Structure 1
Amino acid sequence: MIRSIKVLIVEDDSASLSYLEIILGKEGLNYKTATNGEEGLALFKEYKPHIVLTDINMANMNGIELLAAIKKSQPQTIVIMLTAYNSEDYVIEAMRFGANNYLKKPIFRDNIIGLLRKYKNIILSRNTHTKIQSFVKKHSFTMEIGNEMELLPYIINHLIESVDLIFKEDECMGIRLGLDEIIINAIEHGNLNISYIEKTQAIKNNALEKLHENRRNSPEHKDKKVTISFELNENFCEWTIKDQGKGFNPSLIPNPILTESTESLHGRGIFITQFQFDEMEYSENGTKVRLRKNISK
């Protein structure tokens, strides 16, 4: 059960708000609610939530304006936009203002809980001890990992340790979320050869962990690794993630805003990640992705 994070819901539609309260309440979550952007911002400053769920279309202060105010005040806060619009423009605008994810209405319980569990692991794995990475001018390393999903928060924590004094808090959170999406993609769709349809069905049946376990233990997949290379210099930080899967054609990646159903939560990781980095490039066969974040002078 998720009990250690605080959530703020900002929603002006009473039926939608009640629905979200029921979902979060049944999960034992700590949450507070607001019915418009201005009320939500005031409550945000008082309550200091880890995660905000906010509608986009609201009177007085809309969701985009609230998002901008939250990111200016507490950039490390995770903000999930709730939208009834099936428009690329609204989602892209929200992502550019720092939104971490989005959910299309009607919203499904498993989608919300899935995101909260994912972000909870990232929030709780943040490392707070004092570091001296800001003095480092050049640094590089390579690590090879297996396909154990439960270790990902700690692996990503290690990857972030080298840069968390170089970038601002919101940028570090964006890097965390982006690396999480790409490494999960490398494990699931690369090494374990789990298709979009297989993952969708497993999620519906609450059997994704079992699917992961079965593939990890199969002779075809058990020895496959993900290689992560990191390079830091005075101009940029760069991560390269390479899997040992069959690959795919990156040019055929669909736009999730235009193609995904309201029930679908996965399938958007690549789209979201591109907003967190200055450069994102797949190899021709799709087994390797390069992520670069430039260092401001």
Structure 2
Amino acid sequence: MNSKEPRVLLIEPDETVRAQITNFLTDKNFDVICSLDPDAILFDDDLKADPIGLILISDEYDRDLLSASSLVLGASRKLPQQIPTVVMTEIDSRKSPLEVVVHNWFHTIKKPCDLDILYSVTCAAVNQFNHVRALLNEIETRSSAIGLITSGTFEFQTVEEARNLTTMLSLACPGADGIVIGLNELLQNAVEHGNLEIGYNLKTELLETGRLYDEIQNRIKLEPFNTRYVRVSYTRNDDEIVFIVEDEGKGFNWRKYLTIDDERIRSSHGRGIAMAKMMVFSELTYNDKGNRVTARIAL
């Protein structure tokens, strides 16, 4: 990674483990900062140009220090950006206690860490941070006349077009910096999982091998994928904003993705719909087939 890429903050009390992880990730071209005082790093003005893009924290970290930091839910001091947090645990159970108290929990890794898994999860988390940061930056720098429109219909094919439409439509909503993440999830899913038929297991494999982008670019050139479009309708009245997103794919079993089950709680993807339902939209409903979703935002 070059100096403009986000850094990894490692919070690990064990010196031996800390050195092992630091050396491994450094060899993989990640810039690792080690500290047992996370806020001193996260709120360092000198790091704004090279922000922290991932927090790796051991659940052996002192609970009193953790409770006093900005890492916990409900902290009075807000994290500078939506930084994903990966928990490392020696607890031989399904969940570490830290998963339910830290901001933006992304994944849990069993210690001693399998280095291949550590690398895959680190890449996925940093990629997510870059993606969210780009969306939020676009919201900050763009303006749109869409707020003056009460209804509209849009079509697109690519992930890039989905992102552009997401930022434009989000600017019509209150709290655009929160809406943009949930809306992008729906539009991107319509392309990847809907029209391009990249299923959950295949996406897991592509993420782990770093081939997702290439697979998307290849599929969109092939039949029948190259003739498919995603259609988005937008309506606004005094009470609510309604988005309807429909793709031309085969649909999917959307019911299992409205909550986060044990299979996906350890995964680097597959939680976006549930998170959007819980945190972004006042209502999220699918048709039976699963190729059309209606998202409502109460005003």
Q: Fold conserved (TM > 0.5)? A: yes
Residue type at the aligned position of 2:84: I
**Equivalent in the alignment of 1:268:** 271
Change (3 A) 1:281 1:207: same
Distance 1:63 1:54 in 2: 16
**Structure 2: runs of 5+ lacking an equivalent:** 111-116
The residue aligned with 1:41 is 39
Decide which of 236, 248, 254 is 1:250's aligned counterpart: 254
| Secondary structure at 2:86 match in 1 | strand
Structure-2 separation of matches of 1:31 and 1:157: 31
Q: CA RMSD in A?
A: 3.5
Give secondary structure in 2 for the equivalent of 1:241. strand
Q: Provide the secondary structure at the position in 1 that maps to 2:43.
A: helix
Greater Cα shift, 189-198 or 227-236: 227-236
The residue aligned with 1:205 is 209
Letter in 2 for 1:238: V
Paired positions, count: 279
TM (norm. structure 1) is: 0.75
Deviations, residues 198-229 of structure 1 (Å, cap 9, x unaligned): 22333333322332233222222111111122
Contact 1:6–1:31 (CA under 8 A) maintained in structure 2: no
User: Structure 2 vs 1, CA of residues 199 and 124 (structure 1 numbering), >3 Å: closer, same or farther?
Assistant: closer
Contact 1:3 1:28 (8 Å CA) reproduced:
no
Matched AA of 2:124: G
Q: CA deviation at 1:286?
A: 0.9
Shift of 1:52: 4.6
1:1-297 mapped onto 2 (5 Å cutoff)? 1=1, 3-7=3-7, 9-14=9-14, 17-18=18-19, 20-22=21-23, 25-26=26-27, 28-29=29-30, 32-35=33-36, 39-46=37-44, 47-48=47-48, 49=51, 51-55=53-57, 57=59, 58-59=61-62, 60-62=64-66, 66-68=70-72, 72-74=76-78, 77-83=81-87, 84=89, 86-87=94-95, 91=99, 94=102, 99-106=103-110, 108-125=118-135, 126-127=137-138, 128-129=140-141, 131=143, 136=147, 139-146=150-157, 148-163=158-173, 166-167=174-175, 172-253=176-257, 255-260=259-264, 262=266, 264-277=267-280, 278-295=282-299
Identify if the C-alpha distance between structure 1 residues 63 and 144 changes in structure 2 by more than 3 Å, giving closer, same or farther.
farther
Question: Identity of paired residues, percent?
Answer: 19
**CA-CA distance at 1:133 after TM superposition:** 7.1
Work out which structure has the larger RCO, using CA pairs closer than 8 Å and 6 or more positions apart in sequence.
1
Q: Distance in 1 between matches of 2:97 and 2:285?
A: 23
- Give the TM-score, by structure 2 length: 0.75
In 2 relative to 1, CA 287–71 (structure 1 residues): closer, same or farther, beyond 3 Å? farther
Taking a change above 3 Å as real, the CA distance of residues 8 and 227 of structure 1, as seen in their structure-2 partners, is same
